[in-house]
A and B are shown apart, each in its own frame.
Chain A
Amino acid sequence: MKDIDPPDVEALVAELRERIAVRERAGDQPPYLDADLAAQFARVVDSTPAFGDRERLVALLDRVRLAVEGSAPDHDMLAVLVDMVGEMANLLAASETRNTNLERRMDYAEYLIEELRRDQGGDPDTLSALRHRVDRLETELPASFAPPFSAAAFQEHFQDSGERQRHWYRHLAAQFLDVPGPVLDIGCGRGDLLVELQRIGIRATGVDTDPSVTAICRERGVDAELVDGLRMLERSGSGSFGGIVALQVIEHLDPGRAARLVELTFSKLAAGGKLILQTVNVESLFALARAFVIDPTHVQPVHHTYLEFLLASAGFDPVTVEFQSQLDDGERLVTPGDGPDANIDRLNEVLFAPQDYTVTGIKPAESSG
């Protein structure tokens, strides 16, 4: 192939600079345009608030986790690292703006992780204890928004624990009677469902990220672990569970983590296993205006058609949707006069549709994923 002669860019730049100089002298253009424009993006970056400290610490913890779950590394160095992350979490919780002390520690921790990857050899018992500490640390990292109350206090105040609610948990527990393995309850809260599952003889474990509620579960004699649900799934083997349930959890996750949750549940369920997810029904304006916004830790509502699509895309088949928590007639608009009123009925549908829905997916028997 014949090469082409490259244009003389230097000469062109000189010509362009001359053109600019003429315009600068004429007052048509500010001086030092080239340098000024080249520095513009740096100004944008510098004036951006210190995003990323928390994300960087989470990433760091992810890498520590990979180290503890990888082939046995030096556990003394790992213990130092885990301590450092704990210390950094405290620093992060105490600072509202960019914290150079924290940044230096993170730089050092990243260096140590690299060292760790090179230096193999450690004993499994110590590693297992460290793994447990990493799980705990994750739940102790300050959240983007850290509420000044415990999950137990919040649920005590806002959640219905009456007969209707108990009936719902009994109904739900019965859905897992025929599943091919133990049940995992992600975001198990005070363990209401775990108690019902235990009552009918189904082996079940709960996970939650709030120690106030896992403590209550233990007091009630049901098995609950203080660990993030996604983490629990990631470290479980393929096909470990016969059923997975997450009630009012997915609205606490950003879209990426929500999709990851569905993807992981599919791989961790045994063939024939069942996934049930419950969340706020977006099509009920009453529920959006109340249940969704009352909890400040909600990230975003999830429409039932999207969640249905997400499960089907992950491979669940069949996928079904059911609506729950119909409002009492007392909450609904009343028809004036005796006869039916189509407008009132329609308004009732839009405003007061059932407040929650569940999406249920079955992992097909022939699936290997």
Chain B
Amino acid sequence: MARAGGSEIALHQFVEALASRDAVGSHVLQCERLLRDLGVESKIYTRTVHPELTGRGFNHEDFRPGKTPTALLYHTAIGGPVADYVCARPEPRIIHHHNITPADMFRVWDPNLAGFLDLGRSQLAALTPDAILGLGDSRFNAGELEQLGARRTAVTPILLDLEDILHEPDEAVLDQLTAARRGGSSWLFVGRLSPNKAQHDIITAFAFYRRTVDPVATLRLVGVSSSVAYEQALVRLISDLDLQDAVTLAGSVPPGTLAAEYRAADALVVLSDHEGFCVPVLEAWHHGLPIVAYAATAVTETVGSAGVLLANKSPAVVAAAVATVLEDADLRSRLVTTGRLRLGEFSLKESRRAFTDAVMPVLDELASR
């Protein structure tokens, strides 16, 4: 979209931390590129910049508006001083809500983090009612903004260059993973070890599956730990259920290994209680892996009809659903085909269009005031 009347406008982005290899961090960088392509002046302001991104972000306290009409775009994820800073600024603001994990999910495991999540929620409540526009990665996120009093909202999926996240598998790793299956079926989950991602429910459902369907099945949980206490509890659960030989906590892995994990598995099982979007679903589609997921928060709309969505996640229900997906070749093949088609809906081109359609009319109104 061209700038209306060739008028000048600036939309500067604010985020608590500019992180590398992180969904929100990548989105912010893509936003900057898109805004500049649209002729909008844009810089990133933050409190901390990951060393790999040095030079891409500036300290929020150093922000100085120019003479051009200026608006601020704040990205939510966790509480912090940047939100208070933006809240106190006179410029009109847009909120992009990537969602904030409910603090109660962390209270027992990491009270410090829970405090910052609480803070994030209360800052979001302060920032939203005056915002000129509220963006959500999903209908779920946009709905939260509406409940907080946002007057105008739009759904604009996260700007994700699929080229950046979809890699070819490391063949040597793929061979090792295939050999390690020892003829059993293989469950996979990808995401930080985190209470809201409910790996404990996956392990429990998997235990049920081992005892009732496939005694040699294996489960791999790929992702870095976000809470030492939660990780320790998972290790105890695995040991109490006598699954040490069947469940692997694989940690964080490089892209080629991650691709091999998807290729070597039979199903991606997602039982998260809270997700703002859920990028691994897209990766699973790319690698032709069927998805069984608990229908909660944004997972429901990200998965859509390209996966088996469950209304409850009792161990028996999950085990039965995975068994069906693995035993019913026709269902599996339909899931894989639908997934590949749905992946196209999240292309960077589509997401850029959604962002442009939502944001540019608002900026044009500002510029013409």
Residues of chain A lying within 8 A (CB to CB) of residue B325: 7
Q: Check if B212 sits within 8 Å of A60, measured CB to CB.
A: no
Known: A4-B305, A16-B316, A368-B62. 11 other contacts (CB 8 A): A1-B338, A1-B345, A34-B208, A37-B207, A45-B233, A48-B233, A52-B111, A52-B229, A56-B112, A62-B112, A369-B54
Q: Check if B241 sits within 8 Å of A37, measured CB to CB.
A: yes
Q: Check if A33 sits within 8 Å of B84, measured CB to CB.
A: no
Cβ-based interface call for B260 (8 A)? no
A135-B106 Cα distance, complex, nearest whole Å? 26
Residues of chain B lying within 8 A (CB to CB) of residue A267: 59
Cβ-based interface call for A228 (8 A)? no
5 residue pairs, one from A and one from B, having the closest CB atoms: A56-B111, A59-B115, A12-B320, A3-B305, A59-B112
Residues of chain A lying within 8 A (CB to CB) of residue B119: 63, 66
Instruction: Using known A-B contacts A13-B317, A33-B208, A37-B208, determine if residue A6 contacts B308 with beta carbons closer than 8 Å.
Output: yes
C-beta contact mask, B306-335 vs A, less than 8 Å → 1, else 0? 101110001111011101110010010011
Cβ-based interface call for B118 (8 A)? yes
A274-B112 Cα distance, complex, nearest whole Å? 31
Number of interface residues of A (CB under 8 A): 49
Residues in B71-122 with C-beta less than 8 Å from chain A? 81, 84, 88, 107-112, 114-115, 118-119, 122
A110-B201 Cα distance, complex, nearest whole Å? 29
Q: Check if B229 sits within 8 Å of A51, measured CB to CB.
A: yes
Instruction: Using known A-B contacts A33-B211, A34-B208, A44-B240, determine if residue A59 contacts B111 with beta carbons closer than 8 Å.
Output: yes
Q: Check if B305 sits within 8 Å of A1, measured CB to CB.
A: yes
A266-B119 Cα distance, complex, nearest whole Å? 26
Residues of chain A lying within 8 A (CB to CB) of residue B111: 52, 55-56, 58-59
Residues of chain B lying within 8 A (CB to CB) of residue A16: 212-213, 316, 319-320, 323
C-beta contact mask, A25-52 vs B, less than 8 Å → 1, else 0? 0000100011001101101110010011
Shortest A314–chain B CB gap in Å is 7
Residues of chain B lying within 8 A (CB to CB) of residue A71: 84, 88
In the complex, the chain A residue whose C-beta lies closest to that of B84 is: A70
Cβ-based interface call for B182 (8 A)? no
Q: Check if A13 sits within 8 Å of B342, measured CB to CB.
A: no
Question: Which DSSP category, helix, strand, loop or mixed, fits chain B's interface?
Answer: helix
Q: Check if A60 sits within 8 Å of B316, measured CB to CB.
A: no
Residues in B247-287 with C-beta less than 8 Å from chain A? none
Cβ-based interface call for B246 (8 A)? no
Residues of chain A lying within 8 A (CB to CB) of residue B49: 369
Interface centre among B88, B108, B126 (most CB of A within 10 A): B108
In the complex, the chain A residue whose C-beta lies closest to that of B309 is: A6
In the complex, the chain B residue whose C-beta lies closest to that of A47 is: B236
Chain B: interface size category: 35 or more
Cβ-based interface call for A117 (8 A)? yes
Q: Check if A44 sits within 8 Å of B118, measured CB to CB.
A: no
Seen from chain A, the residues whose Cβ lies within 8 Å of a Cβ on chain B are 1-4, 6-7, 9, 12-13, 15-17, 19-20, 23, 29, 33-34, 37-38, 40-41, 43-45, 48, 51-52, 55-56, 58-60, 62-63, 66, 70-71, 110, 114, 117, 238, 263, 267, 313-315, 368-369
A59-B107 Cα distance, complex, nearest whole Å? 11
In the complex, the chain A residue whose C-beta lies closest to that of B327 is: A12
A55-B345 Cα distance, complex, nearest whole Å? 43
Residues of chain A lying within 8 A (CB to CB) of residue B341: 1
A315-B52 Cα distance, complex, nearest whole Å? 11
Q: Check if B335 sits within 8 Å of A4, measured CB to CB.
A: yes
Shortest B127–chain A CB gap in Å is 12
Q: Check if B316 sits within 8 Å of A7, measured CB to CB.
A: no
**One of B54, B240, B241 near A315 (C-beta < 8 A):** B54
Q: Check if A40 sits within 8 Å of B241, measured CB to CB.
A: yes
Instruction: Using known A-B contacts A44-B237, A369-B49, determine if residue A4 contacts B314 with beta carbons closer than 8 Å.
Output: no
Residues of chain A lying within 8 A (CB to CB) of residue B328: 7
**One of A3, A34, A55, A62 near B314 (C-beta < 8 A):** A34
A194-B195 Cα distance, complex, nearest whole Å? 47
Q: Check if B335 sits within 8 Å of A44, measured CB to CB.
A: no
Q: Check if B305 sits within 8 Å of A7, measured CB to CB.
A: no
A262-B325 Cα distance, complex, nearest whole Å? 50
Shortest B44–chain A CB gap in Å is 13
Instruction: Using known A-B contacts A29-B211, A55-B111, determine if residue A1 contacts B48 with beta carbons closer than 8 Å.
Output: no
Q: Check if B314 sits within 8 Å of A38, measured CB to CB.
A: yes
Cβ-based interface call for B5 (8 A)? no
A255-B240 Cα distance, complex, nearest whole Å? 30
A33-B316 Cα distance, complex, nearest whole Å? 9
In the complex, the chain B residue whose C-beta lies closest to that of A11 is: B320
A sample of 13 inter-chain contacts (CB < 8 A) reads: A4-B335, A7-B324, A34-B315, A37-B208, A41-B201, A52-B109, A52-B111, A56-B112, A66-B81, A66-B119, A71-B84, A114-B122, A368-B58
Residues of chain A lying within 8 A (CB to CB) of residue B54: 315, 369
Cβ-based interface call for B51 (8 A)? yes
Shortest A100–chain B CB gap in Å is 15
Cβ-based interface call for B352 (8 A)? no
A13-B312 Cα distance, complex, nearest whole Å? 12
Residues of chain A lying within 8 A (CB to CB) of residue B229: 48, 51-52
A249-B203 Cα distance, complex, nearest whole Å? 41
Instruction: Using known A-B contacts A38-B204, A40-B241, A263-B48, determine if residue A63 contacts B115 with beta carbons closer than 8 Å.
Output: yes
**One of B112, B200, B310, B317 near A55 (C-beta < 8 A):** B112
Residues of chain B lying within 8 A (CB to CB) of residue A34: 208, 314-316
Q: Check if A4 sits within 8 Å of B334, measured CB to CB.
A: yes
Residues in B106-164 with C-beta less than 8 Å from chain A? 107-112, 114-115, 118-119, 122, 126
In the complex, the chain A residue whose C-beta lies closest to that of B62 is: A368
Residues of chain B lying within 8 A (CB to CB) of residue A37: 204-205, 207-208, 241, 315
Q: Check if B204 sits within 8 Å of A12, measured CB to CB.
A: no
Residues of chain A lying within 8 A (CB to CB) of residue B301: none
Q: Check if B108 sits within 8 Å of A45, measured CB to CB.
A: yes
